[in-house]
Amino acid sequence: MLRESTIQIIKSTVPVLELHGTEITKRFYHLLFTNHPQLLNVFNHANQKQGRQPEALANAIYAAALHIDKLESILPVVKQIAHKHRSLGIQAEQYPIVGNTLLTAIKDVLGDAATEPILAAWAEAYGVIADVFISVEAEMYDEAERQQGGWKGFRMFRVDRKQKESEVITSFYLVPVDGGAIADFEPGQYVSVKPEIPGETYTHIRQYSLSDAPGKPYYRISVKREDALDGRPEGKVSSYLHRHTEEGDILWLTAPAGDFVLNRTDRRPVVLISGGVGLTPMVSMLNTLAETAPDRQVIFIHAALNGEVHAMREHVTGLAQKHAQLSVHFCYQQPTDGDRLLQAFDKEGYIDLPYLKSVVPNKDASFYFCGPVPFMRSINHALKEWGVPAADVHYEFFGPAGSLDEPAVASGK
């Protein structure tokens, strides 16, 4: 437990963190990778360059400071981060390194304003918060290893099948090299994938949603090739998987993780909304519902640029033909002439509230959505405007967690 004096000091720093949080975390990562370059084997380098990781850490630190007197209120966020840490292989002995580096970054950015009492309070608070993470993650590591078909760390999988789904998305069917059973998972979860890329100084680990229902003898991931765009470099892992990984090749995987999962006990209608490659966890949920709850009403809504990049369209429409309780709807931002000829979409443009109301019978349902951050902000804004209770709204960020409370910006990419 934290002392009351420590709690008061931490809470007094909230305005400072709101103003300088991202500057502190940028300094933190610079120091961390300069002094401990081995940690570059764990972090997504692209997220560092794009600023998403420092922003996510700044938000987490701000939330911890804001709720330091009732840390139990941020336990859901702790568990969400802990799932990612377990999937990446973060170890307890790395937490002191992070803590010391964070204190140094705070001192470097705030200068004389970072007094000894403030630094001491943050050291004490970090120790308590780190202990919570270490405890939660220890349970997750143990559960991942003990479950039937589970394992510890990374396990070798072979690419059993490689299937092109669209011009930018390819699926990989993965089976364990040792021939043993594989761990079950909940629809919506992901695995960490570590390819061995020739010529790379550091390893690169990426987390990809499982895109099929559980209970299969394989895991399927469906990967979007991230091309260079607007100054953003191409994705190292996605490009390597698309261009160089073939059937028979080896990838290393950690056991499934993640807290963005389908609630299978809820019998109300379920609305699955996706943008671009955000459809991967949605298809896992859709396949699971089709197999295990065919009588449950499902509304599947997908936004894409056009039919050329729309993955798994035939699979989804095929399910709709078999299941009367499933309705599917597609929204294309820039449809091709072929899309228009085939009447391949319901709406041209973006998903907005009037469109949602036209295809979703009523708001008494469970809503799940995933896609690019601007897309998710737009969907979240629409659901709030409709009055959908927060408890019925579920979403997943691909990469570091962000905020959906910023002004809505529509996107269907």
Per DSSP, which regions of 102-187 are E strands? Answer: 155-164, 169-176
Least confident interval from 30-44, 180-194, 272-286: 30-44
Give the pLDDT band of residue 63 (cuts 50, 70, 90).
Answer: confident
Least confident interval from 24-33, 214-223, 356-365: 24-33
**Active site residue ranges:** 95, 137
- Can you tell me the mean pLDDT for 188-211? 94
Mean predicted lDDT score pLDDT of the chain:
91
Read off the tokens for 193.
């994938």
Could you tell me how far CA 60 lies from the centroid of its own chain?
A: 15
Tens of pLDDT, residues 372-387:
999 999 999 999 999 9
- Domain regions of the chain by residue span: 4-146, 155-253, 270-396
Determine whether the annotation assigns residue 243 to a binding site: no
Determine whether the annotation assigns residue 375 to a binding site: no
Domains 155-253 and 270-396 in one fold? no
Determine whether the annotation assigns residue 278 to a binding site: yes
- Can you tell me the mean pLDDT for 54-65? 80
Least confident interval from 183-187, 343-347, 394-398: 394-398
Task: Tell whether the model's pLDDT for residue 186 goes beyond 90.
Answer: yes
Q: Which CATH class is domain 4-146?
A: mainly alpha
102 to 54, 71, 138, 271, 300: CA distances (angstroms): 12, 19, 23, 41, 43
Determine whether the annotation assigns residue 281 to a binding site: yes
Determine whether the annotation assigns residue 279 to a binding site: yes
Determine whether the annotation assigns residue 260 to a binding site: no
Determine whether the annotation assigns residue 208 to a binding site: yes
Give the pLDDT band of residue 408 (cuts 50, 70, 90).
Answer: very low
Fold (topology level) of 270-396? Rossmann fold (3.40.50)
Task: Tell whether the model's pLDDT for residue 409 goes beyond 50.
Answer: no
| pLDDT over 90 percentage in the chain | 77
Give the pLDDT band of residue 411 (cuts 50, 70, 90).
Answer: very low
Fold (topology level) of 155-253? Elongation Factor Tu (Ef-tu); domain 3 (2.40.30)
Task: Tell whether the model's pLDDT for residue 412 goes beyond 50.
Answer: no
Tens of pLDDT, residues 298-320:
999 999 999 999 999 999 999 99
| pLDDT over 70 percentage in the chain | 95
Task: Tell whether the model's pLDDT for residue 248 goes beyond 90.
Answer: yes
